[in-house]
A and B are shown apart, each in its own frame.
Chain A
Amino acid sequence: MNSKKVELLVGFFVALGIASLLFLALKVAGTNVSGSGDTYQLKAKFENIGGLKVRSAIKVGGVIVGRVEAITLDLEDYLPVVVLAIDKNYDNFPDTSSLSILTSGLLGEQYLGLTPGFIDETVEILGDGDYIEDTKSALVLEELIGQFLFSQGSE
């Protein structure tokens, strides 16, 4: 076999390898080429974050508008602080909006549900670094069962 044909086949082989790497990176791992995009930060304090994790989704009516960027503990009142990175395209949530920790399906992952509040003259729009005051904690199954048993026992 002449060397031209060998080189051609090897080039084809390497190109196929690069193509499969790109396939795995883009289609399978879902890596975004443009990076994470422009985001701004909001913060929220919860009583209990349950199984919420960094990179959990933030949804408004089921549409993903951002992801959890960091979870820390405020050492003054020992409450978890969740830092949200929200897409710059969605930048007009009023500060009456509320945030709750929800579960997708019975055993699914936990995500943050953002419910936009009403808007009038006195309500301001949330900007970078603002806190969302109205938060609802995660449902912890053990606590729920405990409350149920307690209320059964007191009857």
Chain B
Amino acid sequence: MNWIQHLGRNAIDRVAAIGRASMMLFGAIFGKPNFVKGFPLLVKQLYVVGVLSLIIILVSGLFIGMVLALQGYTVLVGYGAEGSLGQMVSLSLLRELGPVVTALLFAGRAGSALTAEIGLMKATEQLTSLEMMAVDPLKRIIAPRFWAGVISMPILALMFSSIGLLGGHLVGVEWLGVDSGGFWSVMQASVDFEKDVLNGVIKSIVFAIVVTWIAIFKGYDAIPTSEGISQATTQTVVQSSLAVLGFDFVLTALMFG
């Protein structure tokens, strides 16, 4: 009996959390926006969430592209098909690795920071103070951070894919001696702008919504103690990484399956 009661309580807690998260997102997105006041806040958050994530995204993109080219070359050269290296690198980056790895890095770099920041604001009762001053914390704190995440992640994913391709070119063409013209022309023949590039962008928009939503909700819903904030930060990284991988499978099956 105890066991069933435990299960029931868990289920109710989960559903209630989803409800609170939806209420928070609804309040943040559909509240009456104030563009004059909101825009500087959004720019500030774009800087914190997007620009400061640039280095880790560019460096990992470069190295992942280089590793892809190196590994792809060793397999393809056995079939004398190293001319298809450009196709392999570009399709894997645009369809899968660009959006997914960007989302995972973003969850670690920016998502955890968002959770900790908002959680600490709650713990030091800054959110309550805002409410006392008749400022809606959903609009002032949550909405700019959410939109900054949703806007910056697709941009970061595009940069990741581009720099990864340049890295692949560096290793494949400059180092291993694949023909440069063939590298680009095979790529252009096989990559379709709508099917590959735009679907990758759609994927990363979905991931952006999922990751940012989880990050700000975990902060907003954190238990306002130092232990609670550390727990919430861990949960953000773990849950958004799992959610990204799960959604990736579903989206891949829908788009390319």
Contacts and interface: CB of A to CB of B under 8 A. Distances in A.
B189 A13 contact: no
Contact of A6 (B44, B165, B189, B193): B44
Given A20-B161, A20-B162, A24-B197, A30 B47 contact: no
Contacts of B46: 10, 13-14
A117 interface: no
Contacts of B40: 3
A129 B197 CA distance: 35
Contacts of B187: 28, 30
Classify chain B: how many residues form its interface, as a range.
Answer: 20 to 34
A3 B54 CA distance: 19
Contacts of A16: 54, 155, 159
B111 interface: no
Interface of B is mostly: helix
A9 interface: yes
B162 A13 contact: no
Contacts of B163: 20
Nearest to B192: A29
Interface of A is mostly: helix
Contact of A28 (B152, B159, B165): B165
A144 B156 CA distance: 52
Interface in B160-215: 161-163, 165, 184, 187-189, 191-193, 196-197
B99 interface: no
Interface of B: 40, 43-44, 46-47, 50-51, 54, 90, 94, 152, 154-156, 158-159, 161-163, 165, 184, 187-189, 191-193, 196-197
28 contacts: A3-B44, A6-B43, A9-B51, A10-B43, A10-B50, A10-B51, A13-B46, A13-B50, A13-B51, A13-B54, A13-B152, A13-B155, A14-B46, A14-B155, A16-B54, A16-B155, A20-B155, A20-B161, A20-B162, A21-B197, A24-B162, A28-B90, A28-B191, A28-B197, A29-B191, A29-B193, A30-B189, A30-B191
